[in-house]
Chain A
C-alpha cells in the first residue's frame, strides 16, 4: 500500500505501519478477519483521529497523542519482572500482555476444568477463527471513532474469555497490560463471552514502567448471557507518561447483571469509552468510576447506556478528585428506546477540585423515547462539606488533616464497593498515600 499523501501526518504514520506489518498477508488473504482489518484501516484512513471539533472529544485535546509517532512493537520482551506490580494476596487467573503481546509463560491459559477457557486472540484467529467470527465478524460500523478503527486494523493480540453456561468462576480473571517500551503503541483486543447463568469477576489492569511516552488503545467486547453476572474492573495505574484510550462495549441479555468499576489513579491522558446495551428485559448494569489525578493529568470518562428492552435498571456513579492542573471530563449518555418501558436509570457525577487550576467538564445526556420511565441525573462540583469538616476538627483533627480525610473518603465511597478485597486494599493504599497527609 502506498503512503497516501492526502492523509494527515498522524494518520499516515499508522497506515504506513499497517503496510509494513502486514506485508505477509497482502491481498491474497481473504479470511474474514483479514478483510476486516482492511476495512477498519480504510475507515481510519478516512476519518483519522478525532479532533475537538467532534462533540464527543470537545474537552479532550489529543495533541499529546497525535503529535507523536508511536510504533508497534514487533519483538516484545519476555519474562518481564512483574513482582512490583503484583496485588498482594490476590489469587487470580492471570494473563499478561507486554506492549500488546501475550507473555505466555506468565499467563494461566489452561483453565478448562474451571468452566472457563482463556485463549490468546492470535491463536484463535490462527487455529479456530470460527469461534469468534460471530462476535468479531460484523461489518465495520460507521459510528466507530478513529481509535476504535485503528484498533480494528492494528490489534496485536488480546484475551478471548469464554465462560461456560452455569459456571461460577471463583478466582478473578486478571488481565495485565504492561506498557514497557518507550514510544510503543499497544492495541489489545479482548472478547468476553459469558454463558447463560454464569458468574465471573474480571480485572483489566493497565500498568506501565516506562518514563518515556506509551500509548495503549484497547477494545474489549463483552457479551453477557441470560441471567449471567459479570463484575468487571478497569484499573488504570500507569505512569503520567502513559496515554490510553480504552473502549469497552457490553451487550446484556435478559436478566443479566453487569457491573463495571473504572478506577483511574494514573496515566497522563486517559479516555474511557464504556457502552452498555441492555438488550434483554430485566437486565441491570451498575457503572462506578473513581478518579484521582494531579499535575497535568487528564481523565475523560464517556459512558453510554442504551435501554433497549423494558424493565431494566442502570445505576451510575462517578466520583473524582482533581488537584493542581488536572482535568477531567464526564459525559454520561443514557438512551431509553421507545419500547423500554419501566426503565429505571440513575446517574451521578461528583467531583472535588482541590486547586483553582483544576477543571471538570461534566455533561449528562438523556434521550428518552419511552413514556413510563424513571430517570435521574445529578452532577456536583464541589467543596468539602463544612459540617463534616467541623465534626472532624471537633474531634481534634486539624484542618489540613480533616480536609485530606474527607477528600479520601469522597473517592473511597466508590472503592468501598469493590468486592475483591486485595484489590480494594491496594487501591485504598494508593489513594490514602496520595490524599491523606500527616495528621
Chain B
C-alpha cells in the first residue's frame, strides 16, 4: 500500500524529516506517535502533497506509483485522504457543495458516473449518521462556526464518503473531548477493512484506546526511533517521551 524509504524533508530550509522508513500493508493501521516538533504533521502533509515541503531525498511508493510525483488532487482521487489537524473554514461554500464536487471529481477519475442530486443526498445522509453529524451543518459553509468536535467529525464524514485506500489522520484527537473522541473513533473503526490502510498521527495514547493500531512507531527528531505493537503506546504513556528519546541518542 505505502512504502516510505529514507524520506528527508525540509520546511523553510530547516530539515524536519531526516530519513523516515515505513511499510504499510493493506488493512493495517499504523500509529505514528511523537513529541511536539518531531515531524509528525510534516509527514502527514508531505503524503497529502502540501506545498512548502521540500523533499530532499527518499521515495514514497503508493500502490505501485510514485506518490511524490502526483499533484495533491490526483493523490486524493487515487485514494489518499488526509484528515486535517486544523480543518479550514471556507465561508461561501456549503459542505454539501464541497462534498458533491469532491465525490464527483473522484468518481470521474475512476471512470464512474457522477452522482445525481438524489443519490448524493441519500449517500450523504447515511454517512452523516455514522459520525452523528447534524444534517443542518451540511447546509452551512464548510466548517464555518463549527465547534472543534464538529470540524473533526466533518473530516471523518468526508473520509467515509470518499472511501479512501489510505487515510492519514493528523492529530484527529486534538481538541476533542472524550465523547467527541469516541464518535470520531467509531466512525474511523467502521471504515476499517482488509483493503484499507490507516496512518494515525497522534501525540497522546488516548486515541489509540479507541482506534487500536496494529503497529506503533515513535517519531523523534525526524526519524522513527522505535516500532512495536500497541503495547509500545502504553509504555510511552507510562514513561513519557523522554524515556525513548534518551534511548535514541
Seen from chain A, the residues whose Cβ lies within 8 Å of a Cβ on chain B are 385-388, 390-399, 401-402, 405-406, 408-413, 416, 439
User: Do A391 and B93 touch across chains, with their CB atoms under 8 A apart?
Assistant: no
Supply 18 further A-B pairs (C-beta < 8 A) apart from A393-B76, A396-B73, A409-B92: A390-B50, A394-B50, A394-B81, A394-B82, A394-B84, A395-B101, A395-B102, A395-B105, A396-B76, A398-B71, A398-B73, A402-B73, A405-B97, A405-B98, A405-B101, A408-B92, A413-B91, A439-B105
Contact with A along B83-126 (1 / 0, CB 8 A): 01001101111000110011011100100000000000000000
Residues of B within 8 A of A385 (CB): 88
Do residues B76 and A406 form an inter-chain contact, with CB atoms below 8 A? no
Judge whether A396 and B84 touch: CB under 8 Å.
Answer: no
Q: Report Cα–Cα, A405/B92, bound state, in Å.
A: 9
Does B42 sit within 8 A of A, measured CB to CB? no
B93, A405: Cβ atoms closer than 8 Å: yes
Answer whether A399 and B73 are a contact pair too, CB < 8 Å, given A392-B98, A394-B82, A439-B101: yes
**B7 CB to nearest A CB, Å:** 19
Which 10 A-B pairs have CB atoms at the shortest separation, nearest pair first?
A: A409-B92, A396-B76, A412-B92, A395-B102, A393-B72, A396-B105, A391-B88, A413-B92, A409-B93, A393-B73
- What residues of chain B lie closer than 8 Å to A397, measured between beta carbons? 73, 101-102, 105
B84 & A391 in contact (Cβ 8 Å cutoff):
yes
A397-B73, A409-B92, A412-B92 known; A390 vs B51 contact (CB < 8 Å): yes
Q: Is B8 an interface position by the 8 A CB rule?
A: no
User: Which residues from chain A contact B106 at a C-beta distance below 8 Å?
Assistant: 396
- When distances are taken between beta carbons in the complex, the residues of chain B under 8 Å from A398 are 71, 73, 105
| Interface majority SS (helix, strand, loop, mixed), chain A | helix
In whole angstroms, how far apart are the Cα atoms of A352 and B141 in the complex?
A: 20
Q: Bits for B181-224, please: 1 = Cβ < 8 Å to A, else 0.
A: 00000000000000000000000000000000000000000000
| List of B residues within 8 angstroms of A411 by Cβ | 92
Residue positions of B touching A, CB distance < 8 A: 48-51, 71-73, 75-77, 81-82, 84, 87-88, 90-93, 97-98, 101-102, 104-106, 109, 141, 158, 162
Note all chain A residues with C-beta closer than 8 A to B50: 390, 394
Contact of A395 among B91, B92, B162 (CB under 8 A): B162
Take A391-B84, A409-B91, A439-B105 as given contacts and tell me if A396 and B162 are in contact as well, using a CB distance cutoff of 8 Å. yes
**How far, in whole Å, are A388 and B109 apart by their CA atoms in the complex?**
22
Q: Which residues of A contact B98 (CB under 8 A)?
A: 392, 395, 405
- Contacts A390-B50, A401-B105, A439-B105 given; does A395 touch B90 at CB 8 Å: no
Q: How far is the CB of B190 from chain A (nearest CB, A)?
A: 20
Q: Across the interface, which residues of A come within 8 angstroms of B82, CB to CB?
A: 394
11 CB-based A-B contacts, threshold 8 Å: A391-B84, A391-B88, A392-B90, A393-B73, A393-B76, A394-B48, A394-B81, A401-B101, A406-B93, A411-B92, A416-B141
Give Cα A402 to B98, complex, Å: 10
CA distance A402 to B51 in the complex (A): 15
A393 CB contacts on chain B under 8 angstroms: 49, 71-73, 76
Closest chain A CB from B53 CB (angstroms): 11
B77–A396 CB distance below 8 A: yes
Beyond A401-B101, A401-B105, is A394–B49 a contact (Cβ under 8 Å)?
Answer: yes
A384 to chain B, nearest CB (A): 11
CA distance A405 to B102 in the complex (A): 12
Alpha-carbon distance A398/B72, docked complex (angstroms): 8
A411 to B93, CA, bound (A): 10
Q: Which residues of B contact A413 (CB under 8 A)?
A: 91-92
Query: How far, in whole Å, are A111 and B197 apart by their CA atoms in the complex?
Result: 67
Contacts of B88 in A (CB 8 A): 385, 387-388, 391
Question: How far in angstroms is the closest Cβ of chain B from A407?
Answer: 10
Q: Which residue of B lies closest to A385 (CB)?
A: B88
Contacts of A396 in B (CB 8 A): 73, 76-77, 102, 105-106, 109, 162
A138 to chain B, nearest CB (A): 42
Name the distance in Å between B70's Cβ and chain A's nearest Cβ.
Answer: 11
* Residues in chain B near residue A391, CB distance under 8 A: 84, 87-88, 90
Minimum CB–CB distance from A209 to chain B (whole Å) comes to 30
In the assembled complex, the Cα of A413 lies from the Cα of B90 at a distance in Å of 10
Q: What is the minimal beta-carbon distance from A175 to any residue of chain B, in angstroms? A: 28
